[in-house]
Amino acid sequence: MAVTDSQTEHVGEVEAALLDAELFMKYQAPERAIKRLKTALELNTRSIKLRERLREVCAGQKHTEDAARQCLALASLYIEREDFDTAHDRLLEAKQLDMRINIAGGLEAIRRARRPDLKPVPTAEPTFERKQFTLAGDLSSISVFDAIQVIENARLNGVLTLSGGGHEGQVKFNDGRIVDAACSGGSGDKAFQQVVEITSGTFEFQKTVEQFPVRIQALSNTNLILDTLRMLDEQKQ
């Protein structure tokens, strides 16, 4: 009596679903292709092949929310496999497809996976000087990427200050876009690399009326963060 391998059955289902989807696309029935792929994903939630094909079809049919959702799921799967470059690409694509998406969690997951030595260390109850802050918090609870996302969405001018581990750094924003950074006497891109590595302590954002000189040129905050994380990883290898 033959023993059925459920894992083999699932692999067969993945291949069958991909083939069916191709046939539906060939005969110009993209909605049926999407439905077939989604059905197969219910049994094979960790299948990169299924999610990549669903991402492609959804993006091609202008189903941007579905495509972005697949990008986020794929980024998590690629991080688990330590394929950080592809994870970067999927996070960036998710943001481009739907600007409302918060990818801070994915950015923090990449940073933790690439640099386990930079995991936030719990600290004592944070204390703040008596100033008027638009946004303030504890980096062990809220990552710098979450703070940047909030500032970007609100299109604020101001300075985000991070303090912890004997280091202090600043990130400057014009209309929610990162335009400069300061840390250890430096500024610009190199200073931003140092700021990103401050993972414990506190952050404080003070809104300003005036804007700042642009010393950091990037297509977007997301591009800047992803490129910085990739550069830091390369420097540590």
Strands 158-164 and 202-207: antiparallel
Q: Which of 152, 151, 159, 209 is nearest to 182 (CA)?
A: 159
The count of C-alpha atoms lying within 13 angstroms of the C-alpha of 161, restricted to the half-sphere facing its C-beta, is: 11
Structure tokens at 138: 């504890």
- Structural domains of the chain, with CATH: 6-101 (1.25.40.10), 122-236 (no CATH)
Contact 203, 162 (CB under 8 A): yes
pTM above 0.85, yes or no: no
Q: Do 18 and 33 meet the contact criterion of CB atoms below 8 Å apart?
A: no
Q: How confident is the model at residue 49, as a pLDDT?
A: 94
Instruction: Indicate if the alpha-carbon torsion angle 61, 37, 71, 153 is positive or negative.
Output: positive
pLDDT tens readout for residues 81-93: 988 889 888 988 9
The predicted pLDDT at position 5 comes to 38
The neighbour count for residue 171, using CB atoms within 10 Å, is: 27
Number of neighbours of residue 44 by Cβ within 10 angstroms: 16
* Per-residue pLDDT, 121: 47
Structure-block tokens of residue 99: 């600007």
Cβ(236)–Cβ(118) below 8 Å: no
- Residues 111 and 118: beta-carbon distance below 8 Å: yes
Q: One digit per residue, pLDDT tens: the chain, 237 residues? A: 343 434 444 678 899 999 999 999 999 999 999 999 999 999 899 999 999 999 999 999 999 999 999 999 999 999 889 888 898 889 889 888 887 777 878 888 877 777 666 555 444 444 445 455 578 888 877 888 888 988 998 899 999 999 877 789 999 999 999 999 999 889 999 999 999 888 888 899 999 999 999 999 998 898 899 889 888 877 766
Specify the pLDDT at position 119: 54
